[in-house]
Amino acid sequence: MSENPSQVASNINPSAATALIGDPAKFGYVAEDGTVFVRTPYGDKAVGSYPGKSAEEALQYFVRKFEALASEVAILGARIRSGAMVPTDAHEAVNKLRQTIIDSNVVGDLEALHASLNQLPEIIEGNRAQYEAKKALERAEREARRADALIQKENIVNEAESLADSENWKATGERLKELLDQWKTAPRLDKKADTELWKRFSASRNKFDKRRRTHFASLDATQKSVSSTKKALVEKAEALANSTDWVTTARAYKALMDQWKAAGRGKASDDAKLWARFKSAQDAFFAAKNADLEKREGTMVENLAKREALLPKIEAILPITDLDKARKEFRELMGEWSKIGMTDRTKRAALDARVDKVSDAIKEAEAEKWRRSDPAAKARANDVVEQLTKAIAAYEEAAAKASAAGNTKKAEEAKAAAEARRSWLSEAQKGLAEFN
């Protein structure tokens, strides 16, 4: 006995075996000498023995072997019915399993087991048409996948060929790498088609790479010139690093930065080293400038308080009643104002606006005083009064003559003109009075 009982038991499919066997005692028995027999339509057959075990245990051992065979038949039948097996392979598997059953020493309904197995060839033939249809569908799907793969690779090649003459070196180089990655992941075609497309793709990449190498080789002289220019800018920046002329030097650094940008790109490694030196000098200057600004901020706060305290005295000059006194006070207060040190510009702007309001009022008063004392202006005002007076007298005389002549309309027009000029004369006399 070569079988391992525990191994046989682990391969049992009880549900499959139940359909093929009934009571084990019906299909087998154990002789007095311990030999186990199976009953078949052709007579009893000795299948073996199980030394050291009871008759029941020996019988059950060979029953479990039968159940394992029944399980194999059930599994094979399920695979065949699902259409998963190639018909020729299915027939071969049935024949192989049939021979295994014939050669096996088991206890069970061998007739039923053979009958179950013998049903499978008919099912295989019944599934052949379905299998062929499935294979045809698979072939069609393969052809469709090949067509898709061909389109995909042709698109990759066409795009690569369109990029071969590009001068956008970085973007095109990256795109060609992406296209190469897409080629590697694209499905394979037949060798001939793949080879032809690859040659076109490779030729486009090589053409672009050759042009790019030529281009960058010509940049070598330019890069050396750029590096020389930037080196000079770095030396200027380092010479300014310890300057305390904050405003002028800050503008100088901005000009140097503009020149740096205009110089273009040099060799990456040289650019990095020169930029590190340039930035170090620039940072040193602005760090010192910021430190000085922080130091002055405390003073500016004090100066702001002084200006805020002086501002009410300046504003008290208004309204102006005595121009000479107002000018004197404003001049003295502005002397104090100008002696106060630096103040934050954003905060001082509002204060300066209030001071300007007082200054503008004094200037306006001075202009008004000059206007009133201007002899030429007084003479012009006097002329206007005299001209209006003469005009009124002339219109009144014309009205009297027209009335005497019975020309009522002309008389009324002359009177209206005289009346209009009287209102003008009143305003002109007021203006003239201001000069007195």
Given this model, what pLDDT does residue 428 score?
83
d(CA 186, CA 205): 18
Given this model, what pLDDT does residue 146 score?
79
What Å distances lie between residue 81 and 13, 86, 112, CA to CA? 18, 12, 19
Sign of the Cα torsion 212, 214, 215, 216 reads positive
Lateral strand order in the sheet of 43-49? 28-30, 35-40, 43-49
User: What six digits make up the tokens of 139?
Assistant: 């072939």
d(CA 317, CA 235): 57
Given this model, what pLDDT does residue 385 score?
84
Residue 39, SS3? strand
- What are the per-10-residue average pLDDT scores of the chain (436 residues)? 38 43 73 92 91 90 91 91 86 93 90 90 83 76 80 89 88 90 86 89 91 84 84 88 87 90 84 89 88 76 88 89 90 90 83 90 86 77 87 90 90 88 85 72
d(CA 265, CA 260): 9
Angle at 190 between CA 186 and CA 194, to 5 degrees: 55
Given this model, what pLDDT does residue 3 score?
41
Tokens 């904050």 map to which residue? 246
d(CA 291, CA 308): 26
Q: Is the full-model pTM beyond 0.85?
A: no
Given this model, what pLDDT does residue 300 score?
85
Q: DSSP letter at 20?
A: T
Q: Among 184, 185, 183, which residue's Cα sits nearest to residue 157? A: 183
User: What six digits make up the tokens of 20?
Assistant: 């093929």
Q: DSSP letter at 187?
A: P
